[in-house]
A and B are shown apart, each in its own frame.
Chain A
Amino acid sequence: MWSEADISALVITAKLAVSSTLILLLVGTPLAWWMARTRVRYKFLIEALIALPLVLPPTVLGFYLLLALGPRGPFGQLAAMLGGSSFAFTFTGLVIGSVFYSMPFVIQPLQNAFSSIGTRPLEVAATLRASPRDRFFSVVVPLARNGFVTAAVLGFAHTVGEFGVVLMIGGNIPGETQVLSIAIYDHVESLQYVHAHWMAGGLLLLSFVLLASVYAFNKRFGVLAA
Protein backbone atom coordinates (compact mmCIF):
# COMPACT_ATOMS: atom_id res chain seq x y z
CA MET A 1 0.00 0.00 0.00
CA TRP A 2 0.95 3.67 0.04
CA SER A 3 3.44 4.71 2.68
CA GLU A 4 3.70 8.26 3.98
CA ALA A 5 6.73 8.92 1.80
CA ASP A 6 4.84 7.57 -1.21
CA ILE A 7 1.95 9.92 -0.55
CA SER A 8 4.27 12.88 -0.21
CA ALA A 9 5.87 11.86 -3.53
CA LEU A 10 2.40 11.80 -5.05
CA VAL A 11 1.63 15.29 -3.71
CA ILE A 12 4.93 16.67 -4.95
CA THR A 13 4.36 15.12 -8.37
CA ALA A 14 0.88 16.61 -8.58
CA LYS A 15 2.13 20.03 -7.46
CA LEU A 16 4.98 19.86 -9.94
CA ALA A 17 2.75 18.81 -12.83
CA VAL A 18 0.11 21.43 -12.09
CA SER A 19 2.55 24.31 -11.73
CA SER A 20 4.62 23.26 -14.74
CA THR A 21 1.49 22.93 -16.89
CA LEU A 22 0.21 26.34 -15.85
CA ILE A 23 3.56 28.00 -16.53
CA LEU A 24 3.83 26.16 -19.84
CA LEU A 25 0.39 27.32 -20.96
CA LEU A 26 1.23 30.87 -19.94
CA VAL A 27 4.61 30.90 -21.69
CA GLY A 28 3.70 28.48 -24.47
CA THR A 29 0.57 30.22 -25.73
CA PRO A 30 2.26 33.45 -26.88
CA LEU A 31 5.26 31.49 -28.13
CA ALA A 32 3.11 29.03 -30.09
CA TRP A 33 1.02 31.92 -31.44
CA TRP A 34 4.14 33.67 -32.61
CA MET A 35 5.46 30.51 -34.24
CA ALA A 36 2.15 29.84 -35.98
CA ARG A 37 2.00 33.36 -37.44
CA THR A 38 5.56 34.51 -38.01
CA ARG A 39 7.26 34.33 -41.36
CA VAL A 40 10.78 34.99 -40.08
CA ARG A 41 13.39 32.87 -41.75
CA TYR A 42 15.02 31.50 -38.62
CA LYS A 43 11.79 30.04 -37.27
CA PHE A 44 12.99 26.50 -38.00
CA LEU A 45 15.89 27.00 -35.58
CA ILE A 46 13.53 27.88 -32.75
CA GLU A 47 11.27 24.97 -33.66
CA ALA A 48 14.23 22.61 -33.55
CA LEU A 49 15.35 24.05 -30.21
CA ILE A 50 11.94 23.55 -28.64
CA ALA A 51 11.67 20.01 -30.03
CA LEU A 52 15.08 19.00 -28.63
CA PRO A 53 13.68 17.36 -25.46
CA LEU A 54 11.79 14.94 -27.72
CA VAL A 55 15.00 13.34 -28.95
CA LEU A 56 17.61 14.20 -26.33
CA PRO A 57 18.36 11.68 -23.57
CA PRO A 58 16.84 13.23 -20.43
CA THR A 59 20.19 12.93 -18.71
CA VAL A 60 21.77 15.27 -21.26
CA LEU A 61 19.08 17.84 -20.69
CA GLY A 62 19.29 17.23 -16.93
CA PHE A 63 23.05 17.69 -16.95
CA TYR A 64 22.89 21.09 -18.65
CA LEU A 65 19.96 22.16 -16.53
CA LEU A 66 21.91 21.21 -13.43
CA LEU A 67 24.74 23.49 -14.55
CA ALA A 68 22.29 26.29 -15.37
CA LEU A 69 20.48 25.93 -12.07
CA GLY A 70 23.66 25.65 -10.00
CA PRO A 71 25.24 28.64 -8.23
CA ARG A 72 27.30 29.60 -11.29
CA GLY A 73 24.56 29.11 -13.88
CA PRO A 74 22.16 31.85 -15.02
CA PHE A 75 19.29 30.46 -12.94
CA GLY A 76 21.60 30.12 -9.93
CA GLN A 77 22.58 33.76 -10.23
CA LEU A 78 18.93 34.67 -10.47
CA ALA A 79 18.35 32.67 -7.30
CA ALA A 80 21.21 34.56 -5.62
CA MET A 81 19.59 37.84 -6.59
CA LEU A 82 16.38 36.65 -5.02
CA GLY A 83 18.23 35.81 -1.81
CA GLY A 84 18.62 32.03 -2.25
CA SER A 85 21.71 30.04 -2.98
CA SER A 86 20.79 28.01 -6.07
CA PHE A 87 17.82 26.26 -7.63
CA ALA A 88 19.55 22.90 -7.90
CA PHE A 89 17.93 20.20 -5.71
CA THR A 90 14.91 22.42 -4.96
CA PHE A 91 11.28 22.18 -5.99
CA THR A 92 11.62 25.45 -7.97
CA GLY A 93 14.48 23.84 -9.87
CA LEU A 94 12.24 20.88 -10.68
CA VAL A 95 9.59 23.22 -12.04
CA ILE A 96 12.11 25.04 -14.22
CA GLY A 97 13.46 21.73 -15.50
CA SER A 98 9.99 20.36 -16.21
CA VAL A 99 9.02 23.46 -18.13
CA PHE A 100 11.90 22.93 -20.54
CA TYR A 101 11.42 19.19 -20.67
CA SER A 102 7.68 19.30 -21.42
CA MET A 103 7.80 22.39 -23.64
CA PRO A 104 7.34 20.60 -27.01
CA PHE A 105 4.32 18.70 -25.70
CA VAL A 106 2.55 22.00 -25.07
CA ILE A 107 3.89 24.12 -27.92
CA GLN A 108 3.23 21.69 -30.74
CA PRO A 109 -0.51 21.08 -30.18
CA LEU A 110 -1.03 24.80 -29.64
CA GLN A 111 0.94 25.75 -32.72
CA ASN A 112 -1.00 23.23 -34.83
CA ALA A 113 -4.30 24.47 -33.49
CA PHE A 114 -3.39 28.10 -34.18
CA SER A 115 -2.13 27.32 -37.69
CA SER A 116 -5.26 25.41 -38.60
CA ILE A 117 -7.45 28.39 -37.69
CA GLY A 118 -5.82 30.35 -40.50
CA THR A 119 -6.06 34.08 -41.00
CA ARG A 120 -9.63 34.31 -42.26
CA PRO A 121 -11.53 34.21 -38.92
CA LEU A 122 -9.15 36.87 -37.61
CA GLU A 123 -9.76 39.10 -40.60
CA VAL A 124 -13.48 38.63 -40.21
CA ALA A 125 -13.21 39.60 -36.54
CA ALA A 126 -11.14 42.66 -37.48
CA THR A 127 -13.85 43.85 -39.86
CA LEU A 128 -16.31 43.30 -37.01
CA ARG A 129 -14.45 45.83 -34.90
CA ALA A 130 -12.47 43.44 -32.70
CA SER A 131 -9.00 44.66 -31.65
CA PRO A 132 -6.06 42.24 -31.93
CA ARG A 133 -6.25 41.26 -28.25
CA ASP A 134 -10.04 40.91 -28.46
CA ARG A 135 -9.65 38.73 -31.57
CA PHE A 136 -7.29 36.43 -29.72
CA PHE A 137 -9.59 35.83 -26.78
CA SER A 138 -12.93 35.84 -28.62
CA VAL A 139 -11.92 33.89 -31.72
CA VAL A 140 -8.58 32.13 -31.39
CA VAL A 141 -9.00 30.71 -27.89
CA PRO A 142 -12.43 29.17 -28.48
CA LEU A 143 -11.48 27.86 -31.91
CA ALA A 144 -8.23 26.38 -30.54
CA ARG A 145 -9.98 24.77 -27.61
CA ASN A 146 -8.96 21.26 -28.63
CA GLY A 147 -5.37 22.41 -28.90
CA PHE A 148 -5.43 23.83 -25.39
CA VAL A 149 -6.91 20.67 -23.92
CA THR A 150 -4.40 18.48 -25.72
CA ALA A 151 -1.51 20.75 -24.73
CA ALA A 152 -2.54 20.86 -21.07
CA VAL A 153 -3.06 17.12 -20.77
CA LEU A 154 0.12 16.18 -22.62
CA GLY A 155 2.15 18.72 -20.64
CA PHE A 156 0.71 17.44 -17.38
CA ALA A 157 1.09 13.76 -18.18
CA HIS A 158 4.57 14.17 -19.53
CA THR A 159 5.68 16.05 -16.42
CA VAL A 160 4.22 13.31 -14.23
CA GLY A 161 6.17 10.75 -16.20
CA GLU A 162 9.59 12.38 -16.28
CA PHE A 163 12.45 10.58 -14.61
CA GLY A 164 15.90 11.37 -15.94
CA VAL A 165 15.69 15.12 -15.65
CA VAL A 166 14.26 15.18 -12.13
CA LEU A 167 16.82 12.65 -11.00
CA MET A 168 19.63 14.85 -12.28
CA ILE A 169 18.40 18.19 -10.95
CA GLY A 170 16.10 17.20 -8.10
CA GLY A 171 18.37 14.95 -6.11
CA ASN A 172 15.57 12.66 -4.94
CA ILE A 173 15.10 14.33 -1.53
CA PRO A 174 12.07 12.65 0.09
CA GLY A 175 9.36 15.14 1.00
CA GLU A 176 10.99 17.84 -1.09
CA THR A 177 11.99 16.73 -4.57
CA GLN A 178 11.14 13.05 -4.64
CA VAL A 179 8.50 12.44 -7.28
CA LEU A 180 6.49 9.31 -8.07
CA SER A 181 8.59 7.99 -10.92
CA ILE A 182 11.70 8.04 -8.76
CA ALA A 183 9.88 6.63 -5.75
CA ILE A 184 8.85 3.69 -7.92
CA TYR A 185 12.44 3.21 -9.01
CA ASP A 186 13.54 3.21 -5.36
CA HIS A 187 10.91 0.61 -4.49
CA VAL A 188 12.04 -1.62 -7.31
CA GLU A 189 15.69 -1.18 -6.33
CA SER A 190 14.87 -2.29 -2.80
CA LEU A 191 12.67 -5.11 -4.11
CA GLN A 192 9.48 -3.66 -2.55
CA TYR A 193 7.38 -4.86 -5.49
CA VAL A 194 4.01 -4.42 -3.78
CA HIS A 195 4.66 -0.73 -3.27
CA ALA A 196 6.00 -0.43 -6.77
CA HIS A 197 2.89 -2.17 -8.13
CA TRP A 198 0.50 0.20 -6.39
CA MET A 199 2.28 3.29 -7.63
CA ALA A 200 3.08 2.04 -11.13
CA GLY A 201 -0.45 0.75 -11.60
CA GLY A 202 -1.88 4.05 -10.36
CA LEU A 203 0.26 6.03 -12.81
CA LEU A 204 -0.62 3.71 -15.65
CA LEU A 205 -4.31 4.12 -14.95
CA LEU A 206 -4.06 7.90 -14.56
CA SER A 207 -2.17 8.30 -17.83
CA PHE A 208 -4.63 6.12 -19.68
CA VAL A 209 -7.63 8.00 -18.29
CA LEU A 210 -6.07 11.35 -19.18
CA LEU A 211 -5.26 10.34 -22.73
CA ALA A 212 -8.62 8.68 -23.25
CA SER A 213 -10.38 11.88 -22.14
CA VAL A 214 -8.32 13.96 -24.58
CA TYR A 215 -9.16 11.70 -27.47
CA ALA A 216 -12.81 11.58 -26.45
CA PHE A 217 -12.92 15.36 -26.17
CA ASN A 218 -11.22 15.91 -29.51
CA LYS A 219 -13.49 13.40 -31.19
CA ARG A 220 -16.57 15.12 -29.86
CA PHE A 221 -15.48 18.63 -30.71
CA GLY A 222 -13.16 17.91 -33.59
CA VAL A 223 -16.02 18.07 -36.06
CA LEU A 224 -16.98 21.51 -34.83
CA ALA A 225 -13.51 22.88 -35.16
CA ALA A 226 -13.08 21.65 -38.72
Chain B
Amino acid sequence: MSIEARFRVERADFRLEVDLRLSETGITAVLGPSGSGKTTLLRAIAGLEYHVDSFLRIGDTIWQDDNRFLAAHNRPVGFVFQEASLFAHLSVEGNILYGYRRVPDEERKVSVDDVVQLLGLQDMLQRDPLSLSGGERQRVAIARALAVSPRLLLMDEPLASLDVKRRKQILPYLESLHAELEIPVIYVTHLSDEAAQIADDIVLLEAGQVKGFGPVSEMFARLDLSMAHREEAGAVIDAVVEAHDDEYQLTLLSFAGGRMAIGRQALTAGSAVRLRVAARDVSLTLEHQTGTSILNIFPATVDEIKPDGDVRVTVKLSLGGTSLLARITRKSSVILGLKPGKRVYAQVKSVALLQ
Protein backbone atom coordinates (compact mmCIF):
# COMPACT_ATOMS: atom_id res chain seq x y z
CA MET B 1 0.00 0.00 0.00
CA SER B 2 1.30 3.38 -0.88
CA ILE B 3 0.31 6.82 -2.01
CA GLU B 4 1.09 7.69 -5.59
CA ALA B 5 0.91 11.34 -6.57
CA ARG B 6 1.76 12.87 -9.93
CA PHE B 7 0.99 16.51 -10.47
CA ARG B 8 1.97 18.90 -13.19
CA VAL B 9 1.03 22.54 -12.74
CA GLU B 10 2.08 25.28 -15.09
CA ARG B 11 1.35 28.92 -14.48
CA ALA B 12 2.97 31.98 -15.93
CA ASP B 13 5.45 32.40 -13.09
CA PHE B 14 5.32 29.01 -11.48
CA ARG B 15 5.88 25.38 -12.34
CA LEU B 16 5.29 22.30 -10.24
CA GLU B 17 6.23 18.85 -11.38
CA VAL B 18 6.12 16.01 -8.90
CA ASP B 19 5.95 12.27 -9.18
CA LEU B 20 5.93 10.77 -5.72
CA ARG B 21 5.32 7.43 -4.18
CA LEU B 22 4.85 8.00 -0.47
CA SER B 23 4.61 5.55 2.36
CA GLU B 24 1.16 5.02 3.75
CA THR B 25 2.38 5.11 7.32
CA GLY B 26 4.10 7.80 9.29
CA ILE B 27 4.72 11.45 8.65
CA THR B 28 6.12 12.65 5.36
CA ALA B 29 7.37 16.23 5.51
CA VAL B 30 7.27 18.25 2.33
CA LEU B 31 10.12 20.65 2.94
CA GLY B 32 10.97 23.64 0.82
CA PRO B 33 11.27 27.43 0.74
CA SER B 34 8.17 29.53 0.20
CA GLY B 35 7.05 29.53 -3.39
CA SER B 36 8.39 26.03 -4.00
CA GLY B 37 4.91 24.61 -4.59
CA LYS B 38 4.38 22.82 -1.28
CA THR B 39 0.97 24.28 -0.62
CA THR B 40 -0.15 23.78 -4.22
CA LEU B 41 0.80 20.12 -3.93
CA LEU B 42 -1.13 19.71 -0.70
CA ARG B 43 -4.21 21.47 -2.08
CA ALA B 44 -4.12 19.29 -5.18
CA ILE B 45 -4.02 16.18 -3.00
CA ALA B 46 -7.01 17.46 -1.00
CA GLY B 47 -8.93 18.15 -4.20
CA LEU B 48 -9.12 21.87 -3.47
CA GLU B 49 -7.41 22.55 -6.79
CA TYR B 50 -7.82 20.73 -10.04
CA HIS B 51 -4.89 20.29 -12.37
CA VAL B 52 -4.97 18.43 -15.66
CA ASP B 53 -2.58 15.58 -16.40
CA SER B 54 -2.47 14.52 -12.79
CA PHE B 55 -2.82 11.26 -11.00
CA LEU B 56 -3.49 10.43 -7.36
CA ARG B 57 -3.91 7.04 -5.80
CA ILE B 58 -4.30 6.34 -2.08
CA GLY B 59 -3.85 2.66 -1.40
CA ASP B 60 -6.02 1.02 -4.04
CA THR B 61 -8.42 3.94 -4.47
CA ILE B 62 -7.83 6.32 -7.33
CA TRP B 63 -8.82 9.89 -6.46
CA GLN B 64 -7.77 11.45 -9.70
CA ASP B 65 -6.76 10.30 -13.14
CA ASP B 66 -7.57 11.36 -16.68
CA ASN B 67 -11.24 10.47 -16.32
CA ARG B 68 -11.90 10.93 -12.64
CA PHE B 69 -11.69 13.73 -10.14
CA LEU B 70 -13.06 13.04 -6.71
CA ALA B 71 -14.44 16.30 -5.31
CA ALA B 72 -12.79 17.60 -2.14
CA HIS B 73 -15.81 16.82 0.03
CA ASN B 74 -15.77 13.20 -1.10
CA ARG B 75 -12.13 12.64 -0.19
CA PRO B 76 -11.52 11.18 3.27
CA VAL B 77 -8.78 13.65 4.14
CA GLY B 78 -8.22 15.86 7.12
CA PHE B 79 -6.76 19.25 6.24
CA VAL B 80 -5.12 21.62 8.70
CA PHE B 81 -4.55 25.05 7.23
CA GLN B 82 -1.81 27.48 8.15
CA GLU B 83 -4.29 29.68 10.00
CA ALA B 84 -6.68 27.65 12.12
CA SER B 85 -9.66 28.98 10.13
CA LEU B 86 -12.21 27.92 12.72
CA PHE B 87 -15.86 28.62 11.97
CA ALA B 88 -16.66 31.80 13.87
CA HIS B 89 -20.36 30.94 14.13
CA LEU B 90 -19.73 27.68 15.98
CA SER B 91 -18.30 26.84 19.40
CA VAL B 92 -15.15 24.75 19.74
CA GLU B 93 -17.32 21.66 20.05
CA GLY B 94 -19.45 22.74 17.09
CA ASN B 95 -16.30 23.07 15.02
CA ILE B 96 -15.12 19.58 15.93
CA LEU B 97 -18.57 18.09 15.33
CA TYR B 98 -19.00 19.82 11.96
CA GLY B 99 -16.98 17.26 10.05
CA TYR B 100 -17.67 14.36 12.41
CA ARG B 101 -21.42 14.57 11.76
CA ARG B 102 -20.90 14.44 8.03
CA VAL B 103 -19.01 11.16 8.05
CA PRO B 104 -21.16 8.04 7.64
CA ASP B 105 -21.30 5.85 10.78
CA GLU B 106 -19.45 2.96 9.19
CA GLU B 107 -16.50 5.18 8.27
CA ARG B 108 -16.04 6.61 11.75
CA LYS B 109 -12.93 5.22 13.36
CA VAL B 110 -12.16 7.85 15.96
CA SER B 111 -14.53 9.20 18.56
CA VAL B 112 -14.87 12.87 19.35
CA ASP B 113 -13.89 12.09 22.94
CA ASP B 114 -10.61 10.54 21.85
CA VAL B 115 -9.75 13.45 19.63
CA VAL B 116 -10.64 15.96 22.33
CA GLN B 117 -8.50 14.02 24.78
CA LEU B 118 -5.58 13.70 22.39
CA LEU B 119 -5.38 17.45 21.86
CA GLY B 120 -6.26 18.39 25.42
CA LEU B 121 -9.42 20.33 24.61
CA GLN B 122 -11.69 19.00 27.38
CA ASP B 123 -12.01 22.33 29.16
CA MET B 124 -12.71 24.54 26.18
CA LEU B 125 -15.46 22.76 24.26
CA GLN B 126 -18.10 25.41 24.91
CA ARG B 127 -15.83 28.34 24.19
CA ASP B 128 -16.05 30.75 21.33
CA PRO B 129 -13.15 30.19 18.88
CA LEU B 130 -12.34 33.90 18.99
CA SER B 131 -11.60 33.71 22.70
CA LEU B 132 -8.84 31.13 22.17
CA SER B 133 -5.12 31.75 21.84
CA GLY B 134 -3.41 30.98 18.53
CA GLY B 135 -2.04 27.70 19.81
CA GLU B 136 -5.39 26.59 21.18
CA ARG B 137 -7.11 27.45 17.93
CA GLN B 138 -4.65 25.37 15.96
CA ARG B 139 -5.21 22.44 18.32
CA VAL B 140 -8.95 22.71 17.70
CA ALA B 141 -8.29 22.79 13.96
CA ILE B 142 -6.21 19.62 14.23
CA ALA B 143 -8.92 17.93 16.33
CA ARG B 144 -11.55 18.99 13.82
CA ALA B 145 -9.54 17.47 10.97
CA LEU B 146 -8.96 14.24 12.89
CA ALA B 147 -12.64 13.88 13.82
CA VAL B 148 -13.54 13.03 10.23
CA SER B 149 -11.50 9.79 10.57
CA PRO B 150 -9.30 10.74 7.63
CA ARG B 151 -7.38 8.17 5.63
CA LEU B 152 -4.79 10.87 5.08
CA LEU B 153 -3.99 13.92 7.17
CA LEU B 154 -2.69 16.97 5.32
CA MET B 155 -1.07 19.76 7.29
CA ASP B 156 -0.04 23.03 5.69
CA GLU B 157 2.51 24.68 7.99
CA PRO B 158 0.19 24.28 10.96
CA LEU B 159 2.70 25.98 13.25
CA ALA B 160 3.75 28.83 11.00
CA SER B 161 1.29 31.32 12.44
CA LEU B 162 2.49 30.65 15.99
CA ASP B 163 5.41 32.04 17.93
CA VAL B 164 8.21 29.81 19.10
CA LYS B 165 6.70 29.30 22.55
CA ARG B 166 3.33 28.16 21.18
CA ARG B 167 5.06 25.96 18.64
CA LYS B 168 6.81 24.14 21.43
CA GLN B 169 3.43 23.65 23.11
CA ILE B 170 1.88 22.06 20.04
CA LEU B 171 4.71 19.86 18.84
CA PRO B 172 4.18 17.27 21.60
CA TYR B 173 0.58 16.90 20.43
CA LEU B 174 1.77 16.27 16.90
CA GLU B 175 4.23 13.70 18.15
CA SER B 176 1.56 11.89 20.16
CA LEU B 177 -0.63 11.97 17.10
CA HIS B 178 2.14 10.16 15.31
CA ALA B 179 2.42 7.59 18.03
CA GLU B 180 -1.27 6.96 18.59
CA LEU B 181 -2.92 7.15 15.21
CA GLU B 182 -2.15 5.07 12.21
CA ILE B 183 -2.94 7.79 9.74
CA PRO B 184 -0.41 8.82 7.14
CA VAL B 185 0.41 12.50 7.44
CA ILE B 186 1.74 14.83 4.80
CA TYR B 187 3.22 17.78 6.60
CA VAL B 188 4.24 20.89 4.71
CA THR B 189 6.88 23.11 6.28
CA HIS B 190 9.68 25.45 5.33
CA LEU B 191 11.63 24.73 8.53
CA SER B 192 14.07 21.87 8.36
CA ASP B 193 14.15 21.70 12.16
CA GLU B 194 10.44 21.01 12.26
CA ALA B 195 10.81 18.32 9.62
CA ALA B 196 13.73 16.79 11.51
CA GLN B 197 11.69 16.73 14.66
CA ILE B 198 8.49 15.07 13.53
CA ALA B 199 8.91 13.46 10.12
CA ASP B 200 9.82 9.94 9.10
CA ASP B 201 10.41 10.81 5.46
CA ILE B 202 11.21 14.06 3.74
CA VAL B 203 10.34 15.28 0.27
CA LEU B 204 12.58 18.21 -0.57
CA LEU B 205 10.79 20.54 -2.95
CA GLU B 206 12.59 23.42 -4.62
CA ALA B 207 11.14 25.59 -7.41
CA GLY B 208 8.42 23.04 -8.05
CA GLN B 209 10.84 20.13 -8.47
CA VAL B 210 11.46 17.22 -6.13
CA LYS B 211 15.15 17.46 -5.26
CA GLY B 212 15.18 14.44 -3.04
CA PHE B 213 13.01 12.00 -1.16
CA GLY B 214 13.91 9.57 1.59
CA PRO B 215 14.09 8.86 5.31
CA VAL B 216 14.92 11.87 7.48
CA SER B 217 18.37 10.66 8.59
CA GLU B 218 19.37 9.95 5.01
CA MET B 219 18.06 13.26 3.66
CA PHE B 220 19.86 15.45 6.20
CA ALA B 221 23.16 13.76 5.41
CA ARG B 222 22.95 14.05 1.63
CA LEU B 223 25.62 16.44 0.41
CA ASP B 224 23.87 16.95 -2.92
CA LEU B 225 20.92 18.63 -1.16
CA SER B 226 20.74 22.16 0.19
CA MET B 227 20.05 21.07 3.78
CA ALA B 228 23.62 19.86 4.28
CA HIS B 229 25.06 23.21 3.26
CA ARG B 230 23.18 25.51 5.55
CA GLU B 231 24.87 27.23 8.45
CA GLU B 232 22.99 24.99 10.90
CA ALA B 233 23.40 21.78 8.90
CA GLY B 234 23.69 18.55 10.83
CA ALA B 235 22.94 14.86 10.85
CA VAL B 236 19.77 13.40 12.33
CA ILE B 237 20.25 10.12 14.14
CA ASP B 238 17.61 7.75 15.47
CA ALA B 239 18.79 6.11 18.66
CA VAL B 240 17.50 4.05 21.58
CA VAL B 241 18.06 4.74 25.27
CA GLU B 242 20.23 1.95 26.54
CA ALA B 243 20.95 2.82 30.16
CA HIS B 244 21.68 5.64 32.56
CA ASP B 245 24.96 6.31 34.27
CA ASP B 246 23.97 7.25 37.81
CA GLU B 247 27.40 8.29 38.94
CA TYR B 248 27.92 10.97 36.28
CA GLN B 249 24.24 11.53 35.50
CA LEU B 250 24.55 10.57 31.87
CA THR B 251 22.19 8.79 29.51
CA LEU B 252 23.71 6.19 27.21
CA LEU B 253 22.26 5.85 23.75
CA SER B 254 22.86 3.26 21.09
CA PHE B 255 22.39 3.75 17.38
CA ALA B 256 23.28 1.82 14.27
CA GLY B 257 27.06 2.03 14.29
CA GLY B 258 27.85 3.10 17.82
CA ARG B 259 26.92 4.45 21.23
CA MET B 260 27.04 7.85 22.77
CA ALA B 261 26.58 9.53 26.12
CA ILE B 262 24.53 12.67 26.68
CA GLY B 263 23.49 14.57 29.77
CA ARG B 264 20.90 12.62 31.73
CA GLN B 265 17.42 12.65 30.24
CA ALA B 266 14.15 11.61 31.89
CA LEU B 267 13.68 8.71 29.52
CA THR B 268 13.19 5.04 30.22
CA ALA B 269 15.55 2.48 28.81
CA GLY B 270 14.33 1.20 25.46
CA SER B 271 12.60 4.41 24.40
CA ALA B 272 13.40 5.80 20.97
CA VAL B 273 14.97 9.20 20.63
CA ARG B 274 15.99 11.34 17.73
CA LEU B 275 19.20 13.31 17.90
CA ARG B 276 20.66 16.09 15.90
CA VAL B 277 24.40 16.50 15.62
CA ALA B 278 25.32 19.84 14.10
CA ALA B 279 28.07 19.60 11.47
CA ARG B 280 30.01 22.43 13.12
CA ASP B 281 30.12 20.45 16.39
CA VAL B 282 31.98 17.55 14.79
CA SER B 283 35.75 17.67 14.41
CA LEU B 284 37.98 15.08 12.81
CA THR B 285 41.29 13.50 13.85
CA LEU B 286 43.42 10.84 12.22
CA GLU B 287 44.23 9.07 15.51
CA HIS B 288 41.98 8.28 18.44
CA GLN B 289 42.59 11.17 20.82
CA THR B 290 42.95 10.18 24.43
CA GLY B 291 43.75 13.34 26.32
CA THR B 292 40.51 15.08 25.45
CA SER B 293 37.38 16.23 27.24
CA ILE B 294 35.19 15.00 24.42
CA LEU B 295 33.21 11.90 25.40
CA ASN B 296 31.79 10.88 22.09
CA ILE B 297 34.46 9.79 19.67
CA PHE B 298 33.67 7.42 16.83
CA PRO B 299 35.76 5.64 14.25
CA ALA B 300 34.37 6.62 10.86
CA THR B 301 34.99 6.47 7.15
CA VAL B 302 34.91 9.51 4.88
CA ASP B 303 32.12 9.09 2.33
CA GLU B 304 32.10 12.34 0.47
CA ILE B 305 33.46 15.88 0.69
CA LYS B 306 31.79 18.98 -0.71
CA PRO B 307 33.04 22.56 -0.45
CA ASP B 308 30.96 25.21 1.33
CA GLY B 309 32.31 28.45 0.00
CA ASP B 310 36.06 29.11 -0.12
CA VAL B 311 36.89 28.45 3.50
CA ARG B 312 35.00 25.37 4.60
CA VAL B 313 34.05 21.92 3.45
CA THR B 314 31.33 19.59 4.63
CA VAL B 315 32.38 15.99 5.11
CA LYS B 316 29.92 13.12 5.13
CA LEU B 317 31.08 10.29 7.36
CA SER B 318 29.84 6.78 7.72
CA LEU B 319 29.72 5.19 11.17
CA GLY B 320 28.54 1.70 10.41
CA GLY B 321 24.89 2.24 9.57
CA THR B 322 24.73 5.92 10.46
CA SER B 323 25.79 9.05 8.64
CA LEU B 324 27.37 12.05 10.30
CA LEU B 325 28.29 15.44 8.91
CA ALA B 326 31.36 17.42 9.86
CA ARG B 327 32.10 20.98 8.82
CA ILE B 328 35.79 21.80 8.86
CA THR B 329 38.06 24.26 7.09
CA ARG B 330 39.32 23.41 3.65
CA LYS B 331 42.81 23.79 5.03
CA SER B 332 42.24 21.09 7.68
CA SER B 333 40.80 18.84 5.05
CA VAL B 334 43.99 19.17 3.02
CA ILE B 335 46.27 18.74 6.06
CA LEU B 336 44.41 15.57 7.10
CA GLY B 337 44.48 14.34 3.51
CA LEU B 338 40.76 13.61 3.54
CA LYS B 339 39.33 11.71 0.61
CA PRO B 340 36.53 9.18 0.24
CA GLY B 341 37.40 5.90 1.95
CA LYS B 342 39.83 7.51 4.43
CA ARG B 343 39.46 6.28 8.02
CA VAL B 344 39.18 9.00 10.65
CA TYR B 345 37.88 9.63 14.14
CA ALA B 346 34.88 11.90 14.57
CA GLN B 347 34.74 13.88 17.81
CA VAL B 348 31.25 15.02 18.67
CA LYS B 349 31.22 18.08 20.89
CA SER B 350 27.48 18.37 21.48
CA VAL B 351 24.23 16.62 20.68
CA ALA B 352 20.70 17.99 20.65
CA LEU B 353 17.73 15.86 21.55
CA LEU B 354 14.90 16.37 19.05
CA GLN B 355 12.18 14.21 20.53
Q: Which residue numbers of A lie inside 8 Å of B, CB to CB?
A: 120-121, 123-132, 134-135, 138-139, 142-143, 145, 224-226
Q: List 5 A-B contacts (CB under 8 A).
A: A121-B87, A124-B85, A125-B87, A127-B73, A132-B73
Whether B89 contacts A127 by the Cβ 8 Å rule is: no
Whether B78 contacts A127 by the Cβ 8 Å rule is: yes
Band of interface residues on B: 20 to 34
Q: Which residue numbers of B lie inside 8 Å of A, CB to CB?
A: 46-48, 71-75, 77-79, 81, 83, 85, 87-89, 98-99, 102-103, 128, 130, 144-145, 148
Given A127-B78, A128-B144, verify A120-B72 contact (CB < 8 Å).
Answer: no
Whether A125 contacts B98 by the Cβ 8 Å rule is: yes
Given A120-B81, A123-B48, A123-B72, verify A128-B88 contact (CB < 8 Å).
Answer: no
Whether B87 contacts A126 by the Cβ 8 Å rule is: no
Whether B130 contacts A128 by the Cβ 8 Å rule is: no
Can you name the residue of chain B whose Cβ is closest to the Cβ of A123? B48
Given A120-B81, A224-B130, verify A126-B72 contact (CB < 8 Å).
Answer: yes
**In the assembly, what is the distance between CA of A8 and CA of B10, in Å?**
66
Whether B73 contacts A138 by the Cβ 8 Å rule is: no
**In the assembly, what is the distance between CA of A121 and CA of B85, in Å?**
7
**In the assembly, what is the distance between CA of A131 and CA of B72, in Å?**
9
Whether A128 contacts B46 by the Cβ 8 Å rule is: no
Whether A126 contacts B73 by the Cβ 8 Å rule is: yes
**In the assembly, what is the distance between CA of A135 and CA of B98, in Å?**
11
Whether B130 contacts A129 by the Cβ 8 Å rule is: no
Can you name the residue of chain B whose Cβ is closest to the Cβ of A143? B89
Whether B148 contacts A128 by the Cβ 8 Å rule is: yes
- Give the shortest distance, in Å, between A221 (CB) and chain B (any CB): 10
Cβ–Cβ < 8 Å partners of B74 in chain A = 129
**In the assembly, what is the distance between CA of A86 and CA of B193, in Å?**
76
- Choice from B83, B103, B128, B145 contacting A127 with Cβ under 8 Å: B145
Whether B73 contacts A129 by the Cβ 8 Å rule is: yes
- Give the shortest distance, in Å, between B132 (CB) and chain A (any CB): 14
Cβ–Cβ < 8 Å partners of B145 in chain A = 127-128
- Choice from A124, A134, A145, A226 contacting B87 with Cβ under 8 Å: A124
Whether A225 contacts B88 by the Cβ 8 Å rule is: yes
Cβ–Cβ < 8 Å partners of B99 in chain A = 127-130
